[in-house]
Structure 1
Amino acid sequence: MRDHIPVVVQGSGRRVRRVGLAGVLWAAAELTVTVGVVVLLLVVHQVWWTNRQAVAAAQEQVRELESDWARAPDGPEEPTDPVASAPSGDEESVSSPSPKVSATVPARAPAAKPPARDQAYAVLRIPRLGLTVPVAQGIDKRAVLDKGYAGQYPGTARPGEQGNFALAGHRNTHGEPFRYINRLRAGDELIVEVRGQRYTYVVGKVLGETTERDTGVIAPVPRSLVKPDYGYSEPGAYITLTTCTPEYTSKYRLVVWGTLRS
């Protein structure tokens, strides 16, 4: 009988280790791909889907306002006393000081029946941009801006009045109504419609970049506190649009000013 001679296979331990390492690397690669897909879906939802939802809802709100005005054209409807609506703060807006209402004489008839806070009460049209967007009282992110609306800074003038009718809006995501306001030029029209009234402002000046705490840009006579060469020095009826800059960041604010056409 032959003796059984054991055969020793060298290197089997290394192969096992290599197989084990390959499995770990493969699992890590699968996890990385999965995480990447999830992140991509989140980005698509945030950038694309929220835009579609907000734009559709905002346009429906515009149609509802216009329908209401057509049924009951009984005078202007504008926001409540802006002192009652304190800002919640948002990355698209300028940090507001405690609101103070100055004794100014309205350029047009005052409000007849004010709407509730956060309620859309006007429509902003910018022909150059093909933009039509509802305007609501306040700059609360969830209640106003994330709906694709432009929000009026509390404490600022009502449409058509002496003072500064100041608005904030998203530049990216959630309808991004103010995405292209950097394209506005002197002479472009900014049209604000309220029940029974139409106010046409004309773009006069653009401030390409300032800080979020530059409250001078929404003052009754708007002038930058950071860049005093930008702004106005005489009382008048102004409109201000503010949003973030550069795009997809909230580091600075972009500002567009206009004056009411007499």
Structure 2
Amino acid sequence: MRAVRPLRLIVRTLSEICLTVGAVIVLFVAYVLFWTGVKAAGATDGEIVRLQEEWTRLPLEQAPSGAPPEPVRAYTSGKPFAVMYIPRFGADWDWPVLEGTSAGTLKKGLGHYQGTARPGETGNFAVAGHRRTYGDPFKDVPRLKPGDAVILTDGTTWFTYRVKRAPYRTVPSDVAVIDPVPRRSGFDGPGRYLTLTTCEPEWGSSHRLVVWAHLDATRPVTDGKPEAFHS
């Protein structure tokens, strides 16, 4: 009978360890699935509010003909400069675009690959976003189809891009996907392009999903939202 007691102690200890490990796993999953989304919602809303406040101070009227052009203001690392909308993802899908793709930046919104073009410029405006966690901004990227609209505004102009082809799967080291003329994009020369990148598979990061689009139209914000919001 005495030998039974150590066995019971071992079983009880192992049971307690299993329960503790299980509780930690449950808490971690809750953090990943829920709490990072809550944090992202607050962060992204704050970044959009900051942008809107800045935009209220922007001059929306065109400069007189012959006036010297305004100097191009450099983007600030980690700070927002545009808002992106993808109608395919729903009417309430709107995300700030910030400069840079660091882990901290991508917790607050989408990240612009530094050194790539600005919205509307000749070249490739390349943007990264989480597939899952921190609000799941690019969770539905596989749903994008040729012709779908990706819309951005910088406070003065609306930029409407159209998706060129279905999402392309590649490896993280394939950095050529954000070249000025991305290889395998179907574009055959310089133009005004957009690239979206996110992780693949949905809960992993062994690969990347890439979406390419081309600039379809621009319009001043004073003319109202583009028709692409309703197409």
List gaps (5 residues or longer) in structure 1.
1-14, 77-108, 225-229
Distance 1:199 1:110, change over 3 A: farther
CA distance in 2 between partners of 1:73 and 1:44 (Å) = 45
State whether structure 2 residue 55 is matched by structure 1 residue 69. yes
Residue of 102, 105, 108 corresponding to 1:140: 102
Matched with 2:36 is: 50
The structure number with the bigger radius of gyration is: 1
TM (norm. structure 1) is 0.75
Matched with 2:129 is: 169
Q: Which moved more, 1:128-137 or 1:250-259?
A: 128-137
SS at match of 2:116: coil
CA distance in 2 between partners of 1:241 and 1:171 (Å) = 11
Distance 1:159 1:117, change over 3 A: same
CA distance in 2 between partners of 1:75 and 1:55 (Å) = 33
CA distance in 1 between partners of 2:57 and 2:170 (Å) = 43
Q: Is the 8 A contact 1:244 1:251 kept in 2?
A: yes
Residue of 83, 87, 105 corresponding to 1:127: 87
Spell out, residue by residue over 1:26-46, the C-alpha distance to the aligned partner (whole angstroms, 9 max, x if none): 121011101110121022112
Residue of 208, 211, 226 corresponding to 1:256: 211
The code of the aligned residue for 1:146 comes to K
List gaps (5 residues or longer) in structure 2.
63-68, 218-231
The code of the aligned residue for 2:76 comes to A
The code of the aligned residue for 2:20 comes to T
The code of the aligned residue for 1:135 comes to V
Matched with 2:153 is: 193
CA deviation after TM superposition for structure 1 residue 54, in Å: 0.6
Q: Which moved more, 1:115-124 or 1:185-194?
A: 115-124
Spell out, residue by residue over 1:126-168, the C-alpha distance to the aligned partner (whole angstroms, 9 max, x if none): 11102210001111111x1122x11111111110011100001
Q: Is the 8 A contact 2:151 2:161 kept in 1?
A: yes
Q: Is the 8 A contact 2:106 2:129 kept in 1?
A: yes
CA deviation after TM superposition for structure 1 residue 110, in Å: 8.0
Spell out, residue by residue over 1:45-75, the C-alpha distance to the aligned partner (whole angstroms, 9 max, x if none): 1221011111221022113212321343458
SS at match of 1:49: helix
Q: Is the 8 A contact 1:220 1:235 kept in 2?
A: yes
Q: Is the 8 A contact 2:162 2:215 kept in 1?
A: yes
Matched with 1:22 is: 8
TM (norm. structure 2) is 0.84
Distance 1:110 1:174, change over 3 A: farther
The code of the aligned residue for 2:53 comes to S
CA distance in 2 between partners of 1:110 and 1:261 (Å) = 25
Q: Structure 1 vs Structure 2: percent identity of aligned residues?
A: 39
Matched with 2:176 is: 216
CA distance in 1 between partners of 2:166 and 2:18 (Å) = 44
The aligned length equals: 209
CA distance in 1 between partners of 2:181 and 2:46 (Å) = 34
